[in-house]
Amino acid sequence: MRKIGKPWIKLKEGIDEDDYEIVGQLQERCMEHDRTALKLELDYKLGVGGNEKGIQAVNEFMYFDGERLIGYIGIGSFGGPWEVNGMVDPEYRRQGIFSKLFELVVNEWKRRGSGSMLLLSDRDSAAGQGFIAGSGAQYKHTEYEMFLKNEALGFATEKRGGLAFRKATNADAKEIARQNVIYFNDDEESVEAEDMILPEEEEKRGMTSYLVEKDGQIIGKVNLQVTSKLGAIFGLGVLPEHRRKGYGRALLLLAIEKLKEANTEEIMLQVAADNSNALNLYKSCGFEETSTMDYFELRS
């Protein structure tokens, strides 16, 4: 264990290029040492940036020893409860770094009155699971991270069901929020919320929302993100009245095609562990589980 010589903490609303680099380097050290996954959403956060007029809300908590970043916790907000994930340099652990950063996160949480928040930990991270167990947070759900490994036989020529993608605009925000309630049990109040996620703003941050249509009628949606040659599929769903017609598979194949057209080298997605239908669909199209992320809810 390396002793902390010159400790100091930096708090920011968003990250810039320099932060992205040093947090990414710390992430690599931790993942290589622990052989576990982290969900920091750095590419998305870099697109969001910070408030140039000053800090309105702290979302980035960084602990330094001199010029070296040795601890980090980030808050992610995607239209629902906060998602909180972080790490400490393997050489500096057991010195209260994470506890101090988390104390600052909790203070910010209380200051902003943000309802519940979700604490994330890889299933195989003993340290992460142990810390959350001591926080009083209750288990909420589990997601699998999956990567496309082996494309299904006949993938290139498989029918797409006559589906078409239409890029969503801000005028579609209410429809997207409505579908999120159906697919992901989001709060119904989010459909009327003044601060609902706007597709055109999300696109500036690298996340593009598409409404999926069949004969001019909306039947579902999907979000696609391309960062550093990694393509990601989020928020995929088919409306209940259009299910059991093969549209889910056709939608997924279209999403993969779009990401390949963007020259992505890898394609990933996340799926709730209890969503067996979606899990089986993804596996049938060549996706394999690479990590298991547990979510725990902490209420105010």
Residue ranges covered by each domain of the chain: 7-136, 147-292
Domain range 147-292, CATH architecture: 3-Layer(aba) Sandwich (3.40)
Calculate ∠ Cα 110-55-180, nearest 5°. 60
Give the global pTM.
0.83
pLDDT class of 157 with cuts at 50, 70, 90: very low
Distance, in Å, from the CA atom of 291 to the CA atom of 300, rounded to the nearest integer, reads 29
Give strand pairing partners of 12.
60
The answer to whether domain 7-136 and domain 147-292 are alike in fold is yes
pLDDT in tens, 64-123: 999 999 999 999 877 678 999 999 999 999 999 999 999 999 999 999 887 889 999 999
Written as six digits, the tokens of 292 are: 């298991």
Q: What is the pLDDT of residue 154?
A: 46
pLDDT in tens, 168-211: 999 999 999 999 889 887 555 555 555 567 898 888 878 899 99
Q: Which residue has the higher pLDDT, 194 or 237?
A: 237
Fold for domain 7-136?
Aminopeptidase (3.40.630)
Cα 67 to the center of its chain, rounded Å: 28
Q: Which residue has the higher pLDDT, 87 or 42?
A: 87
Q: Supply the DSSP symbol for 195.
A: T
